[in-house]
Amino acid sequence: MIPTRRLAAQGFFKRSADEFGRLSRIAWNTEALHTPTKPYTLLNFEDEGTTNGCKTMADRAVGGFSTASLDYEPAEPSSNTPSHARFHGTISTKLPDNWRVERTGYAAFRNQDRGFWLFGRLYWDVDPYAYLALRIKSDGRRYTVNVQTDAVVETDIHQHRLYTRHHRVREAPKSLEEAYDSDVESSDAAEDLYPGGMPAALSDVPPESTIISTSTSTTTSGSNGWETVLLPFNSFVRTNYGFVIEPQTSLARQRVKSIGIGLTDRVDGPFDLRIHKIWATNGMGEADIEEERRICGDNALPLDEGVRSGWTEEPEPNPTRKEPQQQSQEPKKGLKGLKWEE
């Protein structure tokens, strides 16, 4: 009786029921037989409990002076601002009085361990999805998305730069002396962190595979700084304590433990990032386009955005089928094209 009460208090039965319900919906809708067209929500910060279920980290753990907080912010219907989490604090590169610490200036957050259910430890299975989507409001700093899986090396993390419409590259040095010092420091750091060269997903320039809205549609409600970014799962880079690890291995999508965002640009000063929701998706479909337009306004991603990045392929015509009317009809593209059957 006591173990049962303890498990109930820890949410064991609720997690099990929720997971069974999710798997049942997948089986009922036969989503396991084809590419799913509906989003899979991982962290929804409209729920205050999701914010409280995350942990923050900063270099204060090793004596540094950076700070990090994750606070719940209620909705503001007048400006179409949803309830969200605010990741904020201050980055300081000041070194502590500890000769063992050679580098500071970082802050991050991630969700807590998801716990257990009837079949063991609970993970996110995002294998059927091509993108990790984040709806955020950025201050332009160089944030990094961190995904941890049930890997052989527990401290391995797969990372991808969080590119946004407000993304800022490093400022140019003001003098030759600063330029020399900056080049020496950056080249030494880059050689240590990226021995095989700077990965495209961590560079200052967004790779083509990253989807950032450039829409200028006038049919939306207006821009308020919110935007949705799609990061391909197959572009994430395997790292360990910030160092790129070789050989690279693909992200184990079936066993995702945690998702978070970090700031390691080592630029002194405050930071402020708002996060509404993080989910797995195969493109911006009809299931979430209304919410996207309401919150992001002019920055909203268009419907079937996945087509532009080429995440799906059009089905080839079946020569054995004798239906001229069907053959003359072109396959639908994007998420709608997934329902095309030969």
Using one digit for the tens of pLDDT, what is the confidence trace for 292-340?
999 999 889 888 655 455 554 443 444 444 444 444 444 444 444 443 3
φ, ψ for residue 72 (rounded to 5)?
-85, 130
pLDDT value at position 111? 95
Domain boundaries, the chain: 1-33, 34-311, 316-342
Closest CA to 282 of 216, 217, 336: 336
Task: Tell the CATH topology of 34-311.
Answer: Jelly Rolls (2.60.120)
Using one digit for the tens of pLDDT, what is the confidence trace for 45-85?
999 999 999 999 999 888 999 999 999 999 999 888 999 99
**Distance (Å) of CA 222 to CA 79, 226, 287:** 10, 10, 21
CB contact at 8 A, 160 and 226: no
pLDDT value at position 6? 54
Using one digit for the tens of pLDDT, what is the confidence trace for 138-197?
999 999 999 999 887 889 999 999 998 876 655 544 444 443 344 434 555 666 677 778
Closest CA to 222 of 76, 44, 81, 46: 81
pTM of the predicted model as reported, rounded to 2 decimal places: 0.76
Residue type, 166: H
Cis peptide before 247 (omega within 30 of 0): yes
Using one digit for the tens of pLDDT, what is the confidence trace for 124-146?
999 999 999 999 999 999 999 99
pLDDT value at position 221? 53
